[in-house]
Structure 1
Amino acid sequence: MPTGAAAKEPAFLVFSDLSKIGPYLTELRARGLAVLVVSQKRGSAMVQRGIELLGTPDHPFAAITDISLHDGADLSGIADRASRWAERYDIRGVLVGAEVYVEAGQLVCDLLGLPSAGWRASRVCRNKLLQRRYLREWSPTSVLVTAPEGGPMDRDEAEHLAAAYDGAFPAAVKPLDRESSIGVRTVGGPDDLAGIVAELEPGSRILVEERIRGREYNVDSLVVDGKPVVTLLTQKGTNEDATEFFVELIHTTPPDNLDERETGLIVEAQHGVVERLRFENGFAHAEYRITDDGRVVLMEIAARAPGDACLHLYHLASGQPVEPVLIDIAMGRPAEYAPEFRRRGRQIYFEHVPGILRDVTVDGLDGVTPRWLADTTGIWPELRPVDPHAPATLHELFVLKKRGDELLRITESSNRAVTAVFDVPIDGDIDAEEARIRRAVTVRTTPPGQPGNAS
């Protein structure tokens, strides 16, 4: 530093949805770091509520030193803002907690010379087709279908394009230009596929690929200098058995349906994928299925921490939070995470009858009151682990929509409205606890203009 120059205040930059930023705020402020945030301009009810509360005294967001709202594709605006922050602050690390900011976060890390996932990992993780081509060894068979630029297709043209997929049915269809589970669905045969292709917007693209049946898991690796420090598994459940969609409705940590051999096969695949991507530093969050004959297949991978309550589940099940380790990795500091799972945690989302959300009621769970986040704080509170031998514990029942919002059929993650997070002793019956909670919770909706409807 030049003689006489004023020392810059140390800071840390987080790319995140406001609703999930709480644990990072707590840890960063405890370390004496100014918290800089890039977040979305618009979005879900939770996003909008968070934006409304920015600058509110005594709210957790008051710990944010400065915030800039950008769409994820606004690379120029984000790079400019980061450069101006760097003139004032000594930015020690950058952490990406939202999928839409993976490439922007990589750009800023490269600009400022900070640890990152690396260009190959960041770019490939943001593109479903690149994942299939770079990671062919672990991927299902897939083909790319591109709608012509000229306008609507007739049926013959749609059937011709759909015929590029010559694999087995049912098949899975994945739009290349959407996040999470949006637009991902099963098609039963060539006619159904041709119908979907016929509805494509000009120039839009989809992957049509082998439908893999098998148990599914989040597989999360904390990576330092290209080497996984630890790889953790979370069991998943979706609505695929009852619908043509693949929306995540259940997460369980640690899984209770894997043996040691199967776990080893999945971890081996994940480490191969991390190596192929030249993943440098951060959180490699992947999803795999394992078939009945032991085949391990990559569904997708992201260069960021998982969403939903997955980080909460690691904390509740092991007693050790992950966020401080992610911050250490982003700052280039030594990082260790070797959790011993003492409890089994689960997050569930509740089904609902489509309609106007009127209420969420609880009957038979003493002391449990739904927490209407989109109507109140707009931020997920931190959850505290309990004693390993404590009885089954329902930590929170969250409502993620506002009263009066229209609830749609659950065809994508953003349609989910009510969720519970709970845990049991590691040898407890978590399925029985889930059944008890589901029996107690009612999501009340009504058709517009009509009273009475519940699920």
Structure 2
Amino acid sequence: MAHHPQAVLFMGDLVVLARQARLFTETRRRGLAALVVVSAQTDMELLEQARADRTHPLSALTEVVQVPEANVASVTPAVQPLLRRYDVQGVMSVGEPFVEPAGVLADTLGLPGPGAKAASICRNKLLQRFSVPEFSPYFEAVPAKQRSDFRLPEERFPAVVKPAGRFYSSGVRSVSTHGELVAALSAVEEHEIALVEARARGREFSVEALVQGDEVIWSGVNAKESNEDVSDYFTELSHTCPADLPSSEEEALVEANREVLRQVGVRDGITHAEYRLGDDGEVVLMEVAARLPGDTITFLWELATGQPIEPVLLDLALGVPADYPQPRRRSRQYFLPHPHGALADVTAEGIEVSWPTRDNRWPVFGPLDAAAPATAHSVLVGRMPGDVLGDQVDSGHRSASLLIDAPLDADLDAETERAAERVEIVVDP
């Protein structure tokens, strides 16, 4: 029988592959080939340029296969040649679109993963409502043919309209009147499931969890802030890891998340779930995802705990016993407000400015000692020069963010404000 090199099969597009590139260098360090499936959303020319540069972490990729769609029907035939040439030991979705095909393939190959059922539920907010009704707000799924005539009782306003299969807050809109409701529903594509939900009140958090063998082995609570108080949108404007919470509130979120993951049936991997915590202590699920969190949340947990998370994610995908430490610092990603106009430059006094959108390179964030003073690590620019900056309708409309960390007992709000004053976003009118 022919010997085939062992490999890990990853799925995701260039933006998330570049952000989590340590997955691939760590895979190669362990003597495994790093195989990647990307969709048509990836610019192959840019990806191949990165792979050809030996100084770029994406040069660690062994083979890349592009598929037209991030779904089971496209992915399974495309990976058949890889499965014949390699002994695939693990399968992992790095980004949201590939969660379902990665989960199904891992199940099919008998490998660790969230499970086909959990992967499917985690890609569909309506299925999540069916799965965990006790953590769900009031909701209605509105078929395409009924959207122009759909009415919501007055007592159900304010409400939220969201496409059930999207991510990164795309298409999510708060509505307070029937006219706003119809307009928001009309913006949902005909082939998409449109959800109308009661607008849950309370502070917003995400809970990241590491799951192995059906058991949650680590949880972290991240405090989120968005622009919901000044707009009809829910664009995330900051993440703080760990959230500064009383232990009772932290435990309520962690235990609710543990029960959600149990009912959804997640077996192995990392999960990212978003919740509202009401003043009365009620925990309401917004959505749960069976993949890495977005933005720089993985880096925030690295700064907070002192250890990178990518080696642990590989352990979970390979079935190696895993653990991860608890935080000993507090870290934050703060998205800076920007003037309107064409982006010309971003400058920061004494803080490194990185443009991952230009070169698909992310800075390396070195964790500090627990008692080290507050440190602004980087300003990350998420747009290209010349992009027109305006209202932050969803995550793609943000421009630059600040990464900072400090001891757990420090005033992180004050430290963030002081660091943000050193940053200037320059636009041409």
Quickly name the TM-score band, shorter chain normalised: over 0.9
Counterpart residue type for residue 428 of structure 2? T
Task: Indicate the residue corresponding to 1:282 in structure 2.
Answer: 269
Task: Indicate the residue corresponding to 2:74 in structure 1.
Answer: 77
Q: CA deviation at 1:195?
A: 3.1
- The whole-number CA distance in structure 2 between the counterparts of 1:206 and 1:176 is 6
After TM superposition, list the pairs within 5 Å mapping 1:386-425 onto structure 2. Answer: 386-425=368-407
Counterpart residue type for residue 207 of structure 2? V
Counterpart residue type for residue 35 of structure 1? A
After TM superposition, list the pairs within 5 Å mapping 1:25-36 onto structure 2. Answer: 25-36=24-35
**Range with greater deviation from structure 2 (404-413 or 418-427):** 404-413
Task: Indicate the residue corresponding to 2:20 in structure 1.
Answer: 21
Percent same amino acid among aligned pairs? 38
Q: CA deviation at 1:83?
A: 2.1
Task: Indicate the residue corresponding to 1:237 in structure 2.
Answer: 225
Counterpart residue type for residue 353 of structure 2? P
Q: Deviations over 1:340-399 (max 9, x none)?
A: 32211001112223331111122xx32x23112222x31323311012221111111111
After TM superposition, list the pairs within 5 Å mapping 1:130-149 onto structure 2. Answer: 130-148=127-145
Q: CA deviation at 1:407?
A: 2.8
Q: CA deviation at 1:168?
A: 2.6
1:349–1:129 Cα change, 3 Å: same
Task: Indicate the residue corresponding to 1:446 in structure 2.
Answer: 428
- The whole-number CA distance in structure 2 between the counterparts of 1:326 and 1:53 is 23
Task: Indicate the residue corresponding to 1:37 in structure 2.
Answer: 36
Task: Indicate the residue corresponding to 1:261 in structure 2.
Answer: 248
- The whole-number CA distance in structure 2 between the counterparts of 1:92 and 1:53 is 25
- The whole-number CA distance in structure 1 between the counterparts of 2:132 and 2:226 is 24
Helix, strand or coil at the partner of 1:7: coil
- The whole-number CA distance in structure 1 between the counterparts of 2:163 and 2:274 is 17
Helix, strand or coil at the partner of 1:105: helix
Task: Indicate the residue corresponding to 2:163 in structure 1.
Answer: 175
Counterpart residue type for residue 417 of structure 2? A
TM-score (norm 2): 0.94
Q: Deviations over 1:223-262 (max 9, x none)?
A: 1111111221111111111111111110101111x21111
- The whole-number CA distance in structure 2 between the counterparts of 1:315 and 1:325 is 11
Counterpart residue type for residue 156 of structure 2? A
After TM superposition, list the pairs within 5 Å mapping 1:46-445 onto structure 2. Answer: 49-50=46-47, 52-148=49-145, 158=148, 160-163=149-152, 167-198=155-186, 200-202=188-190, 204-256=192-244, 258-337=245-324, 339-362=325-348, 365-366=349-350, 368-375=351-358, 377-445=359-427
Q: Deviations over 1:105-157 (max 9, x none)?
A: 012212322111112211111001111111111011111122229xxxxxxx7
Conserved in 2, the CA contact under 8 Å of 1:372 and 1:398?
yes
- The whole-number CA distance in structure 1 between the counterparts of 2:354 and 2:188 is 39
Helix, strand or coil at the partner of 2:339: coil
1:260–1:406 Cα change, 3 Å: same
Conserved in 2, the CA contact under 8 Å of 1:162 and 1:197?
no
Counterpart residue type for residue 335 of structure 1? A
Helix, strand or coil at the partner of 1:315: helix
Conserved in 2, the CA contact under 8 Å of 1:167 and 1:210?
no
Q: CA deviation at 1:269?
A: 1.0
- The whole-number CA distance in structure 2 between the counterparts of 1:205 and 1:77 is 21
Counterpart residue type for residue 332 of structure 1? G
Conserved in 2, the CA contact under 8 Å of 1:18 and 1:50?
no
Conserved in 1, the CA contact under 8 Å of 2:330 and 2:407?
yes
Q: CA deviation at 1:317?
A: 0.7
Q: Deviations over 1:311-349 (max 9, x none)?
A: 111111111222111111111121122x23221100111
Q: Deviations over 1:72-116 (max 9, x none)?
A: 434333212322112111111111110000011012212322111
- The whole-number CA distance in structure 2 between the counterparts of 1:241 and 1:207 is 21
Task: Indicate the residue corresponding to 1:453 in structure 2.
Answer: none
- The whole-number CA distance in structure 2 between the counterparts of 1:212 and 1:254 is 22
- The whole-number CA distance in structure 2 between the counterparts of 1:48 and 1:428 is 45
Conserved in 2, the CA contact under 8 Å of 1:346 and 1:421?
yes
Q: CA deviation at 1:406?
A: 2.6
Helix, strand or coil at the partner of 1:162: coil
Conserved in 1, the CA contact under 8 Å of 2:104 and 2:115?
no
Helix, strand or coil at the partner of 1:422: strand
Helix, strand or coil at the partner of 2:205: strand
- The whole-number CA distance in structure 2 between the counterparts of 1:329 and 1:445 is 44
Conserved in 2, the CA contact under 8 Å of 1:10 and 1:34?
yes
**Range with greater deviation from structure 2 (393-402 or 96-105):** 393-402
Larger radius of gyration: 1
* Aligned CA-pair RMSD: 2.1
Q: CA deviation at 1:31?
A: 0.8
- The whole-number CA distance in structure 2 between the counterparts of 1:123 and 1:74 is 11
Conserved in 2, the CA contact under 8 Å of 1:409 and 1:415?
yes
- The whole-number CA distance in structure 2 between the counterparts of 1:96 and 1:13 is 9
- The whole-number CA distance in structure 1 between the counterparts of 2:163 and 2:182 is 15
Helix, strand or coil at the partner of 2:2: coil
- The whole-number CA distance in structure 1 between the counterparts of 2:311 and 2:213 is 17
- The whole-number CA distance in structure 1 between the counterparts of 2:168 and 2:312 is 25
**Range with greater deviation from structure 2 (70-79 or 323-332):** 70-79
Conserved in 2, the CA contact under 8 Å of 1:235 and 1:252?
yes
Task: Indicate the residue corresponding to 1:452 in structure 2.
Answer: none
- The whole-number CA distance in structure 1 between the counterparts of 2:330 and 2:236 is 18
Conserved in 1, the CA contact under 8 Å of 2:163 and 2:188?
no
1:179–1:72 Cα change, 3 Å: farther
- The whole-number CA distance in structure 2 between the counterparts of 1:203 and 1:10 is 40
- The whole-number CA distance in structure 2 between the counterparts of 1:404 and 1:191 is 35
Q: CA deviation at 1:40?
A: 3.5
Q: CA deviation at 1:446?
A: 2.4
Structure 2 unmatched ranges of 5 or more: none
